[in-house]
A and B are shown apart, each in its own frame.
Chain A
């Protein structure tokens, strides 16, 4: 009944609700990506957007429910952790559009993917593809035959980054050694920069030249270590060049902003459709930064080689693994 009311107002700008993941605004990474996308939607499309930063478990559903009950046209959950809550609510509010960034897809007994409810867009990224490219980049730029990886919490989602990265490294440098470490096994592991710095320092000390982090705020420590030892680090999710200018080789970016913007604009012009959307290199959903600020760090030959790999992945000639 609430959504009927919302439909009555369709001449005015649509109302969007976004529930952010742990870390919230200002994480300079994942959440800020969603925020940036929403921000451009506000500016360019005049969308009316509300944010919620939930706390513990039950608040996630409560946040989504609050927005759905208020008659938002689109409710976005930022993070795989919202998967079940989105699926449940979507059934309850069939006239509201839902989008889940990093929505996790369950499989049935025969291994077939169970599709989300019809009004849910599962927005997924093939992080392993982007990670593959920065892995190759790290191995080609570094010259010590050792590359590093610092993960946040030791969980499958982060293993995806590690797996792609490993494959990328091995592709261009089969005898390279990859040192992969995690900051911990609790959610604290994503916000322990002190630990991140020490992990990175110990890797740099062992001769690693480039470290790729997928560790949230813990990654800030990796950048500090890169500064302190004059080595290189690779950012994640957003362009993190500003965290340590001159020490950020590149960033493995996830187009959270564009995907968010896209979902909003589709709702705005009534082209929103539920279903599974997977964003990889081909769709421009993931990628790596190569611009004026880091061009000096990447030799042209290296860039050419990485671009070549990118085309091979897009063409489907290289299958990137998503688990280690």
Chain B
């Protein structure tokens, strides 16, 4: 089969996915086995992966609060996704803008309903894990100073108002899908939405007390690296699972993913080594995560070489993005959510236009589409998503602030640390 034809079919498949199961769909147990496991892997990315990745980066008096944010989000998003989120994202489309409520409470998603070659319930839970990790990514923007009640309200509203619509546009048969926007596993849907929203909430919330001089360094880089390693492993499920089948396409997505992660890690190390004289562990794993975020939208469309290029680009661009947000914009997006995830996701969403070409070992673009033409499509997808996410985030933050009497804890509580102040617990009670 020609690359173009193959890509055309893939696109076709994407467009068909949101439809109700077709009569001829029959269960493929291998595909089902893989997507069930991929679901477990993506849950594993948030809990404990992301939780540890973020928790190691804060000071020791807030380690538990970060984990708690992730647990709280996982619990609440699950319920919201069941009740209405899945339906908004993947229900029958209302004009390409949002799904209807036909699938609320997973109605119609019984054991026997199919979606392609896998049970729709498996697809719904796979997507649920995406709906968990995306708002959890934003946690990195507001650590050490936010009320737990604000976290829950903000995240819940954000899921329904930002994530679900954008997810519908791109993956749920909405207008971006119609336009031909390429986003294999969430450069736009996951990383761009979360990244820009993180930047906005960080600005609105204000910096941590004493920022930047008196902020403590990461209290446990080994914990951060452990979480990053789990994210790396789990990302096989995130990107490879987005193929919704256990085949060469999934294999290639994983190959590109892994190679991008490794390359970005290596390049970030080299940059630090050159600039600061020493490569740091926190830097290396930040590079890995940047590579993973960047390859995400492209993973199913590119080959190993594409992974290599995406990884290198990710490290270079995200490294400088971190510097710019911190030193030029002076925004306390505390754990660099925008600079790493947002910028990475956007970068990958744009670069895929070229790297999907057969000359880079990719699957090719849709028939008749050129790289530049695709770049325009991608730019529209990214641009609209950024604007939508930013505007809605402003609104949600305002409303949340009104509901919870301000998003921030008191200065005393911030000094004491969120662990004790908000949760009544201490992270470490280690006697000798």
A binds B: no
Q: Report B's interface with A, CB cutoff 8 A.
A: none
